A and B are shown apart, each in its own frame.
Chain A
Amino acid sequence: MISEQSNSASDRRGFFAGVLSIIIGGVVSIFPFAAGLAVFLDPIRRREKTGRGLIRVASLSSLPSDGSPKYFPVIASRRDAWNHYPSSPIGAVYLRRIPESEVQAFNVACPHAGCFVGYQKSQDHFLCPCHNSRFALNGHIDDKNSPSPRGMDELDVEIRNDEEIWVNFQTFQPGKEEKIPSA
């Protein structure tokens, strides 16, 4: 009888020790992961502003008058994690003259998967070298079976002093029918 009692007492103690071990062991093991995950997830929390405002890209006289597009790099100040670059390439645009609003600008990134779209002079259209998305010079999809869900991303343009071309350089989420600025 006595031994049974002490047995059940030690069983009970063992049970509590076991439960506590699992709880404490769980807490101390999860802790470093929690701290690590908080840091790992930091980029999601960080919202960089997408619009940098207008950036001067080129001058009007450098565009061909026949409306064929020309490529220009976009240089602006940029923050890359800890570094700050006063002027550094952040992307590129195609600019072309059009009759109504003077200049049209496209982000060179393909709205399908983000490749650098090329301009085919001989065929007078844009062709993405990755998955063959084809776009007309006005940026519209030029292909019934286009892999790209939307036309090339047009950017706002402002002409200043009758000569300077300023572009509101933005990037948009690829693979979507809607033009959603990437955050």
Chain B
Amino acid sequence: MKWLIDWLDHRTGHRKWIREALFENIPGGSQWRYVWGSTLTFTLFLQVVTGLFLWMSYSPGANNAWESVYFIQYEMNFGWLLRGIHHYAAQLMIILLVLHLMQVMIDGAYKAPREINFWFGLLLLQLTLALSLTGYLLPWDQKGFWATKVATSLLGVIPVLGDSLQKLVVGGSDYGHLTLTRFFVLHAGVLPGLVILLVVFHIYLFRRHGIKPKEPKTKPDEYFWPQQVFKDSVACLAVLVAILLLIVRHRLFDTEGPLGAELGAPADPSQPYDAARPEWYFLFLFQFLKYFKGGQEIWGAIYIPMGILGFMFLMPFIGKWKMGHRFNLLYMMVLAGGAAVLTGLAIQEDRSKPELRLAIEEAHQNAERVLELAQSESGIPVEGAVSLLWNDPLTQGPRLFARHCASCHRFGGKDGMGRVMDEEKDPQTASDLKGFATREWLTRFLNEESFHSPEMFGGTQFSEKGKMRRVVSKITDYDAEEKLALEKVIVAISAEASLPMQKTIDENDLEIIIEGRRILDEEESCMDCHLFHNEDEETEGPVLTGYGSEAWLIDFVGDPTHSRFYGEKNDRMPAFLKLGSLDLKSIELIVKWLREDWYRPESTP
């Protein structure tokens, strides 16, 4: 063994290197205060290693990026752990950088002859922030997409060059494949390369000038090995433990949240995302920007932050005087305090916005839903996971309902998206469609009191005129036998809809359904106006054959003025397809959603 090491040492001189590395003198002995630099080197090491492994499965591209991150996070063995380490180490790195900077400032280690090293440190701080910013976009989820969009849009406010600069970064005027390839090269190539280069020089210069101890020294000098190495390794262990705790915290404390880093719903430029917020360490800038009027953003986004940072480059010279050093410390305190206050304000302002909470909730729902769909048997199509949400009745139905139907109809008293409607502005003038064509819904419909309530037909002209109101008024006087017959008719009409949620009870009540059909067929007060499995005749009221079924509803929404439905008696409902205000696919999505006909994970074998 010894001869091998001798052989190696003769050729590489590694003994001298190790000796120099380990037996560096630390004036005043080892200190816990000196660990920050080492923990930062350690997090950089973590990022390089986990980053390279992530790289093996990540695919930059507008319909592959989210999908590959999904695959890492949910399909690959321990992918959540790998991604979690990378995500949370990045967050801790920012905290450690601030601690390191503060330590250097307080100990006066930024002053001559260490100016250049201080500047390197400031550059490293900016590079780390740039790494965070570029990395935030790579999963191509709604959060990263919209947050980064804000960041790149701000580039556009730079005079003269802004527009071109923005196009260069984004890779065109629209976000897409090239945005991701460019951000990825920056994030995984250019920026880490620069960071490693600067860190090497940073450590070299640090070794050249040595540690700046706090005077007067309270302990005798020590070598770096073993006591300082011990302290450094314990600190690195603490960092790692903190990262692991952050990764598993939701499982550990049984709170709601992902195992490891979050992955939102895939980026969708057409879908508003009110929950767009930058990472917490950029919140102060986010808040700061709110105080600048249109046309002056450049002051909040570029000039002032650059000025503040630029001034820090002068600190080594200002710090030459005792008062100067104190001024520098005060400057840093004010800066840190200001950032903390702005961050607090941003959080507080967000907390006081109920819409934001709804938006965040919707974002979570979409993220969970797309996961269910991606994990389904049919998997992710080539167009990308965003198409899963676009074709999903559960996701699109409420959105479309809120936009096109909720100004008259309601869904469970709300607009479909869970928002309460303004009854002054958009009073309810048509029925509540939650549970449409179910037995319960039809029971409410065929009851005089509820028929005239705004939840059913109270807001329509059918409440004031027409034959239906006469029919329901007669129902009130039904005797027990007639009521029983009515119940059977309701079961039979409801079965026409073949609602997925009534599948089991419909199957069980087959006899009642047959009986109900027979009664309906013979009941003149119904058959006077409606048709039921005898399509060739003329009708006054809506056809009851297939009532509430997918095909019936699609045709109905498409054109309620059709002779099969209300014909000329149609109240105010627009013929959505005929007028072109909705396409067939959108109507299908609304109808499927109303019928609660969507993919459910437990229903797959």
Query: What residues make up the interface of A, taking CB atoms closer than 8 Å to B?
Result: 13-15, 17-18, 20-21, 24-25, 27-29, 31-33, 35-42, 45, 79, 81-85
Does B450 reach chain A (CB closer than 8 Å)? Answer: no
A32 and B85 contacting across the interface, CB-CB below 8 Å: yes
Does B396 reach chain A (CB closer than 8 Å)? Answer: no
A32 and B67 contacting across the interface, CB-CB below 8 Å: no
A21 and B226 contacting across the interface, CB-CB below 8 Å: yes
A25 and B71 contacting across the interface, CB-CB below 8 Å: no
Q: Quick check: which of B348-356, B375-383, B477-485 contacts chain A, the rest being far away?
A: B375-383
The CA of A179 and the CA of B124, in the complex, are separated in Å by 57
Residues of B within 8 A of A79 (CB): 379
Does B103 reach chain A (CB closer than 8 Å)? Answer: no
Residues of B within 8 A of A28 (CB): 42, 233, 236-237, 240
Q: Closest CB of chain A to B166's CB: distance in Å?
A: 31
Does B575 reach chain A (CB closer than 8 Å)? Answer: no
Q: Closest CB of chain A to B85's CB: distance in Å?
A: 6
Q: Closest CB of chain B to A70's CB: distance in Å?
A: 30
Does B421 reach chain A (CB closer than 8 Å)? Answer: no
B233 and A83 contacting across the interface, CB-CB below 8 Å: no
B53 and A36 contacting across the interface, CB-CB below 8 Å: yes
Query: What residues make up the interface of B, taking CB atoms closer than 8 Å to A?
Result: 42, 45-46, 49-50, 52-54, 56-57, 64, 67-68, 70-72, 75-79, 81-82, 85, 225-227, 229-230, 232-234, 236-237, 240, 374, 378-382
The verdict on A24 contacting B233 (CB below 8 Å), with A14-B226, A82-B68, A82-B75 known, is: yes
Give the residue of B49, B70, B225, B381 whose beta carbon is less than 8 angstroms from that of A32.
B49
The CA of A21 and the CA of B82, in the complex, are separated in Å by 24
Q: Closest CB of chain A to B266's CB: distance in Å?
A: 11
The CA of A27 and the CA of B234, in the complex, are separated in Å by 11
The verdict on A17 contacting B229 (CB below 8 Å), with A32-B45, A83-B380 known, is: yes
B380 and A21 contacting across the interface, CB-CB below 8 Å: no
Residues of B within 8 A of A82 (CB): 64, 67-68, 70-71, 75, 374, 379-380
The CA of A25 and the CA of B72, in the complex, are separated in Å by 28
Residues of A within 8 A of B50 (CB): 32, 35-36
Give the residue of A13, A21, A36, A41 whose beta carbon is less than 8 angstroms from that of B49.
A36
Residues of A within 8 A of B230 (CB): 17-18, 20-21, 24
Q: Closest CB of chain A to B79's CB: distance in Å?
A: 5
The CA of A29 and the CA of B70, in the complex, are separated in Å by 27
The CA of A37 and the CA of B50, in the complex, are separated in Å by 10
Residues of A within 8 A of B382 (CB): 83, 85
Residues of B within 8 A of A40 (CB): 53, 56
The CA of A45 and the CA of B382, in the complex, are separated in Å by 25
Question: Which 8 A-B residue pairs are closest in the complex by CB-CB distance?
Answer: A84-B379, A36-B53, A18-B226, A38-B78, A17-B230, A32-B49, A24-B233, A82-B71
The CA of A36 and the CA of B49, in the complex, are separated in Å by 8
A84 and B45 contacting across the interface, CB-CB below 8 Å: no
B76 and A42 contacting across the interface, CB-CB below 8 Å: yes
B384, closest chain A residue (CB): A83
**A-B CB pair tally, cutoff 8 Å:** 100
Residues of B within 8 A of A18 (CB): 225-226, 229-230
Residues of B within 8 A of A14 (CB): 226-227
Give the residue of A17, A29, A35 whose beta carbon is less than 8 angstroms from that of B227.
A17
Residues of B within 8 A of A15 (CB): 226
Scoring A14, A31, A82 by chain B CB atoms within 10 A of each residue's CB, the highest score goes to A82
Residues of A within 8 A of B374 (CB): 82
The CA of A36 and the CA of B52, in the complex, are separated in Å by 8
A13, closest chain B residue (CB): B227
The CA of A38 and the CA of B374, in the complex, are separated in Å by 23
The CA of A14 and the CA of B29, in the complex, are separated in Å by 13
B81 and A35 contacting across the interface, CB-CB below 8 Å: yes
A25, closest chain B residue (CB): B233
Give the residue of B70, B78, B233, B234 whose beta carbon is less than 8 angstroms from that of A39.
B78
B30, closest chain A residue (CB): A17
Residues of B within 8 A of A41 (CB): 77
Residues of A within 8 A of B53 (CB): 32, 35-37, 39-40
Q: Closest CB of chain B to A31's CB: distance in Å?
A: 6
Residues of A within 8 A of B52 (CB): 36
Q: Closest CB of chain B to A76's CB: distance in Å?
A: 14
Residues of A within 8 A of B67 (CB): 82-83
B82 and A36 contacting across the interface, CB-CB below 8 Å: yes
The CA of A42 and the CA of B53, in the complex, are separated in Å by 12
Residues of B within 8 A of A25 (CB): 229, 233, 236
B67, closest chain A residue (CB): A82
Q: Closest CB of chain A to B563's CB: distance in Å?
A: 40
Residues of B within 8 A of A31 (CB): 240
The CA of A35 and the CA of B234, in the complex, are separated in Å by 20
A32 and B46 contacting across the interface, CB-CB below 8 Å: yes
Q: Closest CB of chain B to A40's CB: distance in Å?
A: 6
Residues of A within 8 A of B233 (CB): 20-21, 24-25, 28
Q: Closest CB of chain B to A168's CB: distance in Å?
A: 22
Residues of A within 8 A of B42 (CB): 28
Residues of B within 8 A of A83 (CB): 67, 379-382
Q: Closest CB of chain A to B71's CB: distance in Å?
A: 4
Residues of A within 8 A of B56 (CB): 39-40
Jot down 9 A-B pairs with beta carbons below 8 A, ordered by A. Answer: A20-B234, A25-B229, A35-B53, A36-B82, A39-B53, A39-B56, A41-B77, A83-B67, A84-B380
The verdict on A35 contacting B380 (CB below 8 Å), with A28-B42, A28-B233, A29-B45 known, is: no
The CA of A119 and the CA of B535, in the complex, are separated in Å by 62
B63, closest chain A residue (CB): A83
Residues of B within 8 A of A24 (CB): 230, 233-234, 236-237
B236 and A39 contacting across the interface, CB-CB below 8 Å: no
The verdict on A39 contacting B76 (CB below 8 Å), with A24-B237, A82-B71, A84-B379 known, is: yes
The verdict on A38 contacting B77 (CB below 8 Å), with A18-B230, A21-B233, A83-B67 known, is: yes
B69, closest chain A residue (CB): A82
Scoring B52, B67, B78, B378 by chain A CB atoms within 10 A of each residue's CB, the highest score goes to B78
Residues of A within 8 A of B226 (CB): 14-15, 17-18, 21
B57 and A39 contacting across the interface, CB-CB below 8 Å: yes
Residues of B within 8 A of A45 (CB): 77
Q: Closest CB of chain B to A12's CB: distance in Å?
A: 11
Q: Closest CB of chain B to A152's CB: distance in Å?
A: 32
The CA of A81 and the CA of B58, in the complex, are separated in Å by 11
The CA of A71 and the CA of B70, in the complex, are separated in Å by 38
B378, closest chain A residue (CB): A84
The CA of A81 and the CA of B42, in the complex, are separated in Å by 32
The CA of A43 and the CA of B354, in the complex, are separated in Å by 45
